[in-house]
Amino acid sequence: MTLLTKLREIVGDSHVLTDADTGKYDHDWTGKYKATPIAVIRPASTQEVSDVVKACAASKTAIVPVSGNTSLAGGTYAKDAVMISMERLNDIREIRPDARIAIVGAGAVLSSIHDAADAHDLVFPLTFGAKGSAMIGGALSTNAGGSNVVRYGSTRGLCLGLEVVLPDGQIMNLMSELHKDNSGYDLKNLMIGAEGTLGLITSAVVKLFPKPRAYATAMVAVPALTDALTLLNDLQAATGGLVEAFEYMDALYITDYLTMYPKARTPFADAHDINIMVEIGATAPSLTDVQPDGTVPLISLLEETLAPMMEDGRILDAIVAQNETQRREMWERREAAGEVMLLRKPMINNDICLPVDKVATFFERIDLRLADLDPKALYSSVSHLGDGNIHFLVFPTKDDAGLVDLLTEAVEEVVLSLGGSFSAEHGIGLTKKPSMARRKDKVALGVMRAVKAAIDPDNIMNPGKVLP
């Protein structure tokens, strides 16, 4: 019996896709990585995933998991491999309002989890531009971050439990609903961020939070990034840590956004180099109840906090959203980054993280380095500034592999000199394997290889990814 025959017996003929039928899956979101897989398998249950993995393991056939396929690092490249799509494991099994948890399948799209939580006046706070297609399994596999990390943490911090199919097909039940469990090695967090190289996540228990009864959202222009950090700290102090998003967009990003969306409004009447979108969310009635004069205390608090900074020059301009339409307009400007980043080519996409008080120093140093290496190169940044995660795009003057490597290494050197990381939330995949080889601690790489060899001795789980 051939492998494909066996897989058709497990999931049904219509859920084994081959050749031209794999077109939806055979390329990543950027279009950089493209390969026709042996087949795309669409199981409908954890048991079917287990049976598919066992069949592939028996023939030592490589397996590549795919969720929403919004990867920016080549994590779903599947040449000579069977892809296992999680899209049919899309059930939102349970919302437990009192425990503030949701139990979901790996194929649940983020926006559907948002909607299900919203029906109970709760939120699942993981959010980013691809929320309408990205699935929770992929977000867990890359430990995605998004715009609300400054308040709620990354995906790893939002997950209590997992179900995972291991490379031999065994189902590992880590579906804990506990906030504390010190029973041995932390296998859940080992699987989160492993990009499918150690097993396939099929279900998860995720945390929910009270839905803010009011938001205060603003665009703020500041003279320098050091002023942005002061602004963040002042807002956290004034609100008791209610800042949910603190997002940075530079002048070139705003220019490119307006080029792509010519009907969109500019964030301010005048152009500024440093544009910050800040959002605060609150549940307390003292901050959220509409006053007799029609004002919302939370919005008033934001305005009152910004006013003295405007007076002493730490803020150049500020626009506070007065309604949901204006708030959504600010979010749409930020969440368009995935599309806007593809406007200019060639492009080097750096997903880096720095200590928040070293971000300004990074830009000072990298500006000098790029001026030496490629004086006419441009760069742009749109960033989760509140947690130090900088999406730093470099547009070199020519598409030359040697120049790209030189510029990439320059960014890495500056980042590491400041105690940062060359990978923040997009994963390693294929794109950052050279960076792993150059920059990751050699002892740590050795431990990672030992873990991979122990759990996946035949190297069938997303082979060729993550580890150099």
Give pLDDT tens digits along the chain (468 positions). 699 999 999 999 999 999 999 999 998 877 888 999 999 999 999 999 999 999 999 999 999 999 988 888 889 999 999 999 999 999 999 999 999 999 999 999 999 999 999 999 999 999 988 899 999 999 999 999 999 999 999 999 999 999 999 999 999 999 999 999 999 999 999 999 999 999 999 999 999 999 999 999 999 999 999 999 999 999 999 999 999 999 999 999 999 999 999 999 999 999 999 999 999 999 999 999 999 999 999 999 999 999 999 999 999 999 999 999 999 999 999 999 989 988 999 999 999 999 999 999 999 999 999 999 999 999 999 999 999 999 999 999 999 999 999 999 999 999 999 999 999 999 999 999 999 999 999 999 999 999 999 999 999 999 999 999
Q: Which two tokens stand for residue 404?
A: 């790209």
Residue 377 burial (10 A CB sphere; 0-12, 13-18, 19+): middle
Place of tokens 């150690």: 198
pTM of the model: 0.94
- Give residues with Cβ within 8 angstroms of 247, minimum separation 6: 147, 276, 277, 278, 334, 382, 383, 384, 385, 386
DSSP bridge partners of 298: none
Pair of tokens at residue 399: 């598409």
Exposure letters 327-338 (e unless 16+ CB within 10 A, then b): bebbbebbbbbb
Instruction: Quote the CA–CA distance of 187 and 191 in Å, as a whole number.
Output: 6
With b meaning 16 or more CB within 10 Å and e meaning fewer, what string describes 275-293?
A: bbbbbbbbeeeebbeeeee
- In this structure, the dihedral spanned by the alpha carbons of residues 300, 306, 312 and 313, taken in order and rounded to 10 degrees, is -140
Report CA dihedral (380, 29, 374, 378) to the nearest 10 degrees.
-20
- Domains of the chain (ranges, CATH numbers): 3-85 (3.30.43.10), 92-210 (3.30.465.10), 214-338 (3.30.70.2190), 344-426 (3.30.70.2740)
Count each helix (H run) and each strand (E run) in the chain, helices first.
16, 18
